[in-house]
């Protein structure tokens, strides 16, 4: 097989090339599909179609170049290289593909190095940075998956801490992907970025990337749109509890559903979900968490408590100011527009929510993000938006963390 490259320079050529896509009998494989004038079109051509296609192109005056003379030879060579390099090139977090969505425990599949599962990524990060990063198991999910939190610390004992969680709603894939990126970014920047260095001099950062591992696994294998946990409760055929309605803050009130089949089912009682209980136990026993950020998608919002009641929180003014600053910083990167405010006034009434509980525990700087986008792709945000989303969110997170550092209580 050969790979031919054609660069259409006028509309007629473009049209002719586009028409090639419909000639099924040629079995052409477009590595780069026609996009427009001046954009290269790369076509893998099986041997039997080579002569007819070249004749067709020449007859129509369409010039082409041969990019790859022999695809099989290239594949064979690459396979050999991989086998060789597997021994001398270890898997590292530098070869991890941040621009792709990953599952929990992908084995080394496909021919691309660095497709790691998120669990493997975490272990590697710890191995590569033992003086900064450690992995804690804070509990087990309904289906007995370990619930891991990464701790970033430069020392001390029980320092005031910042908590960040992603993936509590499993279908919100850009959040877990961003969590992975944050973890790597902390490691990359912890010495050379002044802001981050000053934060880590006095505080620890806890990052829970896959807050709902059962749901996440389910979105990979069965239903991409799954949101809740995977618990089964008394006699319903429906599965799962909304982990963001299961906290002990206005639990069971308006803004959650008592129907087990609903996407906002609050569960039989507060903290019924092990994924929620694990965090509750951790927060209570740590006792020194000063900022708590729970990350969701989509809608492009930065929210603070309350969701369960329209009574404003006592620290409303300060939280609003922080939000304003964080959102401005976020927008400055790529122009992404965010709205901000309390949950109940900005999005909808929601009871039993995470940050309502954390705020009532005394964690003043409690925030929720809803990341990109605003509905064009929704939960199915294209992978190429992962890194820009993570980058702009990180900038906003640093505003929140810095404010916390400067206003420790």
Partner 1 sequence: DIDDVGHKYHLELVLEDVLDKDSTVNCTAEVLYHLGNKNSAPSVQFTLEEELKNTDEADNIFYNRIKSLEKELVAENIPDSHGNVSPEMEPVRLLAWVASGYVIWQNSTENTKFQLAQIKHVKQVKRSDEYLEFDYTILLHEMVSQEIIPWQMTVLWHPQHGVQVTQDSRQPKHASE
Between CA 255 and CA 261, with CA 257 as vertex, the angle to 5 degrees is 145
* Binding of residue 383 to partner 1 (CB under 8 A): yes
Query: Which of 27, 29, 35, 314 contacts partner 1 by CB under 8 A?
Result: 35
* Binding of residue 348 to partner 1 (CB under 8 A): yes
* Binding of residue 385 to partner 1 (CB under 8 A): yes
* Binding of residue 317 to partner 1 (CB under 8 A): no
* Binding of residue 51 to partner 1 (CB under 8 A): no
Window 2 to 21, contacts with partner 1 (CB under 8 A): 18, 21
* Binding of residue 227 to partner 1 (CB under 8 A): yes
Closest CA to 290 of 352, 204, 357: 204
Query: Which of 93, 170, 211, 264 contacts partner 1 by CB under 8 A?
Result: 264
Least Cβ distance, residue 52 to partner 1 (angstroms): 18
Q: How far apart are CA 137 and CA 135, in angstroms?
A: 7
Q: Is the CB of 35 or the CB of 111 nearer to partner 1?
A: 35
Least Cβ distance, residue 263 to partner 1 (angstroms): 4
Query: Which of 37, 52, 382, 407 contacts partner 1 by CB under 8 A?
Result: 382
Query: Which of 74, 75, 225, 408 contacts partner 1 by CB under 8 A?
Result: 225
Whose tokens are 């927060």? That residue is: 283
* Binding of residue 376 to partner 1 (CB under 8 A): yes
Q: How far apart are CA 17 and CA 40, in angstroms?
A: 11
Q: Is the CB of 299 or the CB of 354 nearer to partner 1?
A: 299
* Binding of residue 226 to partner 1 (CB under 8 A): yes
Q: Which stretch binds partner 1 (CB under 8 A): 181-189, 303-311, 322-330, 374-382?
A: 374-382
* Binding of residue 222 to partner 1 (CB under 8 A): yes
Catalytic sites, residue numbers? 370
Per-residue DSSP letter, 37:
T
Q: Which residues contact 186 (CB under 8 A, 6 or more apart)?
A: 132, 152, 196, 200, 205, 207
Least Cβ distance, residue 125 to partner 1 (angstroms): 23
* Binding of residue 237 to partner 1 (CB under 8 A): yes
Extract the tokens encoding 81.
């290289």
Q: Contact 256/246 with Cβ under 8 angstroms? A: no
Question: What is the distance between the terminal CA atoms of the chain, rounded to a whole angstrom?
Answer: 67
Between the alpha carbon of residue 173 and those of residues 107, 186, 263, the distances in Å are: 19, 20, 17
- Reported as type and span, the H/E element at residue 357 is helix 354-360
The 3-state DSSP class for residue 178 equals: helix
Extract the tokens encoding 154.
């430069």
Q: Is the CB of 379 or the CB of 394 nearer to partner 1?
A: 379
Query: Which of 100, 112, 197, 408 contacts partner 1 by CB under 8 A?
Result: 100
* Binding of residue 22 to partner 1 (CB under 8 A): yes
* Binding of residue 33 to partner 1 (CB under 8 A): yes
Q: Contact 154/201 with Cβ under 8 angstroms? A: yes
At residue 6, φ and ψ (nearest 5 deg) are -125, 135
Window 103 to 142, contacts with partner 1 (CB under 8 A): none
Size of the site for partner 1 (CB under 8 A): 37
**Dihedral angle over CA of 245, 247, 249, 251, nearest 10:** 60
Least Cβ distance, residue 100 to partner 1 (angstroms): 7
- Reported as type and span, the H/E element at residue 48 is helix 47-59
Closest CA to 234 of 256, 207, 264, 265: 265
Residue ranges in contact with partner 1 by CB under 8 A: 18, 21-22, 24, 33-35, 100-101, 173, 219, 222-227, 237-238, 242, 257, 261-264, 299, 348, 375-383, 385
């Amino acid at each position: 097989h050969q790979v031919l490259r054609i660069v259409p320079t006028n509309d007629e050529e473009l049209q002719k090339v586009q028409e090639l896509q419909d000639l099924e009998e040629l079995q052409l494989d477009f590595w780069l599909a026609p996009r427009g004038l001046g954009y290269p079109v790369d076509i893998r051509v099986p041997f039997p179609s080579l002569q007819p296609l070249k004749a067709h192109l020449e007859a129509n005056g369409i010039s082409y170049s041969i990019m790859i003379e022999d695809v099989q030879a290239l594949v064979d060579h690459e396979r050999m290289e991989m086998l060789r390099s597997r021994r001398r090139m270890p898997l590292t977090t530098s070869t991890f593909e941040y621009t792709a969505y990953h599952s929990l425990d992908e084995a080394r599949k496909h021919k691309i190095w660095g497709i790691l599962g998120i669990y493997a990524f975490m272990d590697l990060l710890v191995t590569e940075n033992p003086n900064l990063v450690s992995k804690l198991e804070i509990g087990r999910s309904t289906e007995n998956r370990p619930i891991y939190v990464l701790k970033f610390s430069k020392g001390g004992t029980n320092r005031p801490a910042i908590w960040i969680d992603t993936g509590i709603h499993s279908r919100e894939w850009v959040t877990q992907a961003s969590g992975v990126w944050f973890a790597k970014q902390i490691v990359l920047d912890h010495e050379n970025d002044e802001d981050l260095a000053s934060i880590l001099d006095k505080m620890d950062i806890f990052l829970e990337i896959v807050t709902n591992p059962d749901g996440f696994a389910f979105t990979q294998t069965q239903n991409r749109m799954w949101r809740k946990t995977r618990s089964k409760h008394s006699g319903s055929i429906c599965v799962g509890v909304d982990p963001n309605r299961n906290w002990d803050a206005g639990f069971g009130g308006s803004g959650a559903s008592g129907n087990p089949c609903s996407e906002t089912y609050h569960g039989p009682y507060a903290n019924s979900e092990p994924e929620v209980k694990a965090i509750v136990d951790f927060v209570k026993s740590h006792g020194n968490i000063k900022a708590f950020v729970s990350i969701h998608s989509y809608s492009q919002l930065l929210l603070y408590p309350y969701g369960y009641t329209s009574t404003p929180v006592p620290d409303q003014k300060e939280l609003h100011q922080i939000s304003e600053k964080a959102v401005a910083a976020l927008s400055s990167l790529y122009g992404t527009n965010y709205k901000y405010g309390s949950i109940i006034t900005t999005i909808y009434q929601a009871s039993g929510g995470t940050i309502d509980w954390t705020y009532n525990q005394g964690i003043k700087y409690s925030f929720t993000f809803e990341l990109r986008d605003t509905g064009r792709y929704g939960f199915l945000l294209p992978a190429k938006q992962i890194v820009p989303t993570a980058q702009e969110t990180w900038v906003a997170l640093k505003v929140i963390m810095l404010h916390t550092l400067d206003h420790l209580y």
